[in-house]
Structure 1
Amino acid sequence: MGTWQKSDWRNKPRVQMPDYQDQEALHAVEGQLSKYPPLVFAGEARRLREELGAAGRGEAFLLQGGDCAESFDQFSADSIRDTFKVMLQMAMVLTYGAKVPVVKVGRMAGQFAKPRSAATETIDGVELPSYRGDIINDLPFTAEARVPNPQKMLQAYTQAAATLNLLRAFSTGGYADVNSVHQWTLGFTASDKAEKFRDMANRIGDTLDFIKAAGVTPESAHTLRQVEFYTSHEALLLEYEEALCRMDSTSGKWLAGSGHMIWIGDRTRQVDGAHVEFCRGVLNPIGLKCGPSTTSEDLKELMRKLNPNNEMGRLTLIARFGAGKVAEHLPRLIETVKAEGANVVWVCDPMHGNTIKSNTGYKTRQVHTVLAEVQEFFAVHRDHGTIPAGVHFEMTGNDVTECTGGVYAVSEENLSDRYHTACDPRLNATQALELAFMVAEELVSLRETRMAANG
C-alpha cells in the first residue's frame, strides 16, 4: 500500500471506459478537476467505515439506495429532496424492525457512469457507441451525442457538489425530524391498499409518543432531527476518480474525494484490472458487486487485495444473483469468506439480477421478485449463521412507473405513463417504502430466531 500512486491504474487493463478522441481536451479537464476541492472529506469516509463495521457485526443495518444513473436533464432540488425523504422513511421502518441504527447511503452525487453489456447498440441498421451515462456521452441516438466528451466531467462535478450541499442542509436543518418522517409514512399506510403495514406504523408511532412523554424531543435531542447521510457511486470513470483523489493530511493516506463510498461493479472486478487497482489504494470503504460468475478463487484474491488488513467495514460484498439463484451461488461465497477468516459486510442488491423485458418492450423489474431475492438472501444467512447487513436498491422519490407490482399495482400497460430512467428501471417511492416494511418483517423474524437460539 505504501508505494501505491493514484495513477497506477493506468498501467492495468481497463474495461467499460471510454476512449476519448481529444486527449488534449481530456488532460485539460483532468488538470482543472485536480484543482477543485474534494466533494467529501476523509473524516466522513472514516466514520462511514466505522458504521459499516457495526453493520457487519449486526450492530447496525445498511440502507443504500438511489438512482440507477443520475441525469443532468432531470436534476432538481425537488428530486433530491424526494429521494432523501423516502430514504428517511425507509430507514425509520428498518430501524424499528432491526432495533439497531440504520446507516443511510445514497446512490447520489456521483452515480453518473454506467457499465454496458455491449460497446455499441444498433437501431434500424445503424450502429453507434452505447450510452454510458451523462458524465461520458449523451442519450440521443446520434453519432454526435455518443462521442465521449471530457467536458461532461466538469458538469458532473458541479451537479455532485450542488447535490451534496442540499443533502447536508436537509440532514442537519430540521427536515429529517423523526416525527415529520413518521407522519409521511402514516400517509402511505392510510391507504386501504397499504393496510397490512398499518400495524407496524402504529407501533412506531407509539414508540415515538413514549419517547416524547419521557421528555426526549427534537428540541432536546439533536439525533431526533438530524441524520448522517453518506453518498456512494460506482467508481467506473477512473480519470474522474483520479482527478478528485486527495492525500489526507491526518493519516497520510489517499482519499477518493468523489464520494464517501465507492464500489466496483460485477463487470469491472478483474483482480489485475484498473478498477481494482485504483480502489485498493484509497481509504474509503469499498463495495464489491458479486454476481453468479464470482468464483471462490476470485473472491479470495479480491479480499486480499482490497482489504489486506482485514478490517471490518472496509469491504462490503454486494450480492446480486437474481431471484431463485441466491441459494445456488451465495453459500459458496459465504464458505469462502469463513475459510479465509475475512471480515466483510454482506449486502443484498436485489435489483440487477431481476431485470426483464416486458411484453410492451420496456425493461422492468417486478416488485415480488425483488422481495424474493431479499428473502432468499436472509434465509441463506440464517442457515449459515452469518449476518445479512444491508440492502441496496435502485429507487427514486419520484412517482415513476418503471417497476411493476407493489400495493398500487403498476402493470406492464402502465410502464409508458412515467418511464423516465435513462438506464435501468427504478422503484418509485411507494414501492421502495413497501419493500422497507417487508425487509423490516424479515429483520424482526431474524431477531426472534436469534433470541430463541440464545435461549
Structure 2
Amino acid sequence: MEKTIKNTWSPTSWKEKTVKQLPTYSNSELLEENYSQLKGLPPLVTSWEIEALKAKLAEVSAGKSFLLQGGDCAESFDLVTSPKIVNMLKVMLQMSFILIHEMGVPVHRVGRIAGQYAKPRSNDFENVNGKEIHSYRGDLINRFEATEEARMPDSNRLIEGYHKAGLTLNFLRALADEGFADLRHPEQWEMDFMLNNEYYKEYEAMVDSITKAVRFMESISPTRVNNLQKADFYTSHEALNLYYDAAQTRQVPRKTGFFNLSAHMVWLGNRTRDLDGAHVEYFRGIQNPIGVKVGPPFTVDETLRLIETLNPTHEAGKIVLIGRFGKDKIEDQLPPLIRAIRKEGFPVVWSSDPMHGNTFSTEDAVKTRNFDHILEEIKSSFAIHRAEGSYLGGVHLEMTGDNVTECVGGAEGLNESGLGHNYETFCDPRLNYQQSLELAFLIAKEWKQSYL
C-alpha cells in the first residue's frame, strides 16, 4: 500500500473522482501492465531540480525575476529529432537573452517540452467521411491520422511517451550544459526578419550590446567565463493523462510528500479545474510547482477555492496563475481576480497566456492567431497589473523555433493566404521563430514601461 497524505490522498486517489478529458482504454489489463511498467522506470527529473525551480518562481512572485514558458502546442513522437529540439532551445534562449538584457532581471526558462503529448478537446468524437472516430488527443493517447484504428486510445503509448520524453530531455541537458547557450557566437543571432520593423535599430543595438558585454567580460577575466555557456532549462506539460503522470509520482528519500518526476512543472487546464474532479484531486497532492490556466468561463470564488485547495500553506513559488482571457475580455475579468487574490494574500506568480483566448478560423477553416491580437492582450495585461499595483511576472506562449506559417502578422506581415506554406501544428497555431523573437522584444518594452 502506498502511504497517503492530506486526507487519504495517493497518486491514484483521483480514480475515485469524475475524470474529464481522458477517454476509456478498451484493454484495461494492458493499461494496468503498462502503468506498472511505467511506475518502475527511472524518473525523468529530480526532486532537487523541482525544488530549485520552485525557489526561482518564489522570486518571480516577489517581483525579482521573470518567467518565460513556451513551446509546442502538442509535441509529436515522430518529431523528436535533433533539429526540432535544437531550434526550440535556440529560440527560448534567445528570447530569454533579449528579456534579460532589456529588463535587467533574471529570466527563468520553462519549456512546453519533453512531455507535452496530450491535449484536451471540445468533443470526444469527430465525423470523418461519414464515420465517427475518436478525436485526436495527442500522441500520448492516440495517433493523428484520421482513421478509426489510429484514433483508438492505446496505453502502449504511455511507455513510448516516456522514452521520447527521456530522449528529448537528455539532449536538452547536453545542449544547455555544454556550449549551445554560449553568448560568444553572435552569428547565432538572425536579424534579417526585423529589417522592416520599426524597432529594428533598437534590436540591432541590443544584440551588439550583448556581444560587446561578453567580449569585455572575457577580456578582464583571467579564466574562461564558464557560466556564459550554460543555461538552466526546465520542462513542463499539461498533466492531462493522469495514468502517465501518476505512474511517475513518487516519494523520494529524506523528503516529505510526493513529486511528479516526469517534469519540473505541470499545469492544470481550463477544462479540468473542477474542484471535485479527478485532476484537482491529483494536483493537490504533489510538491511540484503547479500552473493553473484561468479564463472564461470561470468565477473568482471558484478560483480562490482552487488555489487554497492546491496550496493550503500559501507556499511562494507553488502556484503560477496563467491568465488566458482574450483581448476583448481581459479588461473586465482580470482586475477583479487580481484584487481578490491580493485580499486573500496568495503569493501567486502572475503569467499571461495571450494565445488561447485569441484563436480564430479563416474563411478556409484554417485555425490561426493574429500577432497583433496576441500583443494587444499582453499590453492590456501589463497595463492592468500596473494599475492594480500587481506584478505580471511571466508569459506562457505556444511557439516553435521553426519558421512555420501558423499565426498571421508580425514583422514579416504574414497574411491568411500564406498560412498554407508551412502549416505544421497538430493542434493549435504557434508563433514561429521570427515572431517569437519579435514578441520577446516587445514584451521587454512593456515590462520596462510598467516596472522601471
Same fold (TM > 0.5): yes
> How far 1:208 sits from its partner (Å)?
4.3
> How far 1:166 sits from its partner (Å)?
0.5
Decide whether the 8 Å contact of 1:178 with 1:224 is kept in 2. yes
- Structure 1 pair 190–435 and aligned structure 2 pair: CA distance change class (3 A): closer
Letter in 2 for 1:253: G
- Structure 1 pair 70–384 and aligned structure 2 pair: CA distance change class (3 A): same
1:310 aligns with 2:319: no
Equivalent residue in structure 2 for 1:63, among 58, 68, 72: 68
Q: Which residue of 2 aligns with 1:259?
A: 263
1:277 aligns with 2:281: yes
Q: Distance in 2 between matches of 1:284 and 1:306?
A: 11
Decide whether the 8 Å contact of 1:360 with 1:412 is kept in 2. no
Q: Which residue of 2 aligns with 1:429?
A: 433
Deviation digits for residues 121-175 of structure 1 (CA, Å, limit 9, x no counterpart): 1234322111100110111111111110000111111110000001100111011
Structure 2 unaligned spans of 5+: none
Equivalent residue in structure 2 for 1:192, among 171, 191, 195: 195
Q: Distance in 2 between matches of 1:167 and 1:332?
A: 40
> How far 1:216 sits from its partner (Å)?
5.7
Decide whether the 8 Å contact of 2:360 with 2:367 is kept in 1. yes
Letter in 1 for 2:429: P
Q: Which residue of 1 aligns with 2:356?
A: 352
Q: Distance in 1 between matches of 2:363 and 2:42?
A: 47
Deviation digits for residues 164-220 of structure 1 (CA, Å, limit 9, x no counterpart): 00110011101101233x5433x2257522462332441353254245324466963
Equivalent residue in structure 2 for 1:98, among 97, 103, 107: 103
Letter in 1 for 2:282: F
1:227 aligns with 2:231: yes
Q: Which residue of 1 aligns with 2:400?
A: 396
Letter in 2 for 1:396: T
1:155 aligns with 2:155: no
Equivalent residue in structure 1 for 2:77, among 64, 72, 81: 72
Letter in 2 for 1:329: Q
Aligned length: 446
Q: Distance in 2 between matches of 1:124 and 1:165?
A: 41
Equivalent residue in structure 1 for 2:179, among 165, 174, 177: 174
Q: Which residue of 2 aligns with 1:451?
A: none
Q: Distance in 2 between matches of 1:190 and 1:361?
A: 28
- Structure 1 pair 59–191 and aligned structure 2 pair: CA distance change class (3 A): closer
Deviation digits for residues 261-292 of structure 1 (CA, Å, limit 9, x no counterpart): 00000000001111111111111000000012
Decide whether the 8 Å contact of 2:191 with 2:204 is kept in 1. no
> How far 1:296 sits from its partner (Å)?
1.3
Letter in 1 for 2:254: T
Letter in 1 for 2:442: M
Q: Distance in 2 between matches of 1:49 and 1:67?
A: 23
Q: Which residue of 2 aligns with 1:7?
A: 12
Q: Distance in 2 between matches of 1:226 and 1:240?
A: 31
Q: Distance in 2 between matches of 1:148 and 1:109?
A: 20
Q: Distance in 1 between matches of 2:193 and 2:398?
A: 25
Equivalent residue in structure 2 for 1:29, among 16, 27, 34: 34
Q: Distance in 2 between matches of 1:102 and 1:201?
A: 21
Larger deviation, residues 227-236 vs 395-404? 395-404
Decide whether the 8 Å contact of 2:295 with 2:325 is kept in 1. yes
- Structure 1 pair 113–98 and aligned structure 2 pair: CA distance change class (3 A): same
> How far 1:6 sits from its partner (Å)?
0.9
1:125 aligns with 2:126: no
TM-score (norm 1): 0.95
Q: Distance in 2 between matches of 1:92 and 1:217?
A: 21
Decide whether the 8 Å contact of 1:61 with 1:98 is kept in 2. no
Q: Report SS of the residue matched to 2:164.
A: helix
CA RMSD after TM alignment: 1.6
Q: Distance in 2 between matches of 1:362 and 1:40?
A: 37
Q: Distance in 2 between matches of 1:340 and 1:145?
A: 48
1:202 aligns with 2:205: yes
Equivalent residue in structure 2 for 1:141, among 143, 146, 170: 146
> How far 1:236 sits from its partner (Å)?
0.2
Structure 1 unaligned spans of 5+: 449-455
Q: Report SS of the residue matched to 1:353.
A: helix
Q: Distance in 1 between matches of 2:192 and 2:302?
A: 45
Decide whether the 8 Å contact of 1:190 with 1:198 is kept in 2. no
> How far 1:359 sits from its partner (Å)?
2.0
TM-score (norm 2): 0.95
Q: Which residue of 2 aligns with 1:81?
A: 86
Question: 5 Å matches for 1:322-401?
Answer: 322-401=326-405
1:290 aligns with 2:294: yes
- Structure 1 pair 210–147 and aligned structure 2 pair: CA distance change class (3 A): closer
Q: Report SS of the residue matched to 1:64.
A: strand
Letter in 2 for 1:192: L
Larger deviation, residues 122-131 vs 24-33? 122-131
Q: Report SS of the residue matched to 1:55.
A: helix
- Structure 1 pair 163–220 and aligned structure 2 pair: CA distance change class (3 A): same
Deviation digits for residues 384-440 of structure 1 (CA, Å, limit 9, x no counterpart): 000000001001111111111111121111111111111001111001111001101
Decide whether the 8 Å contact of 1:322 with 1:352 is kept in 2. yes
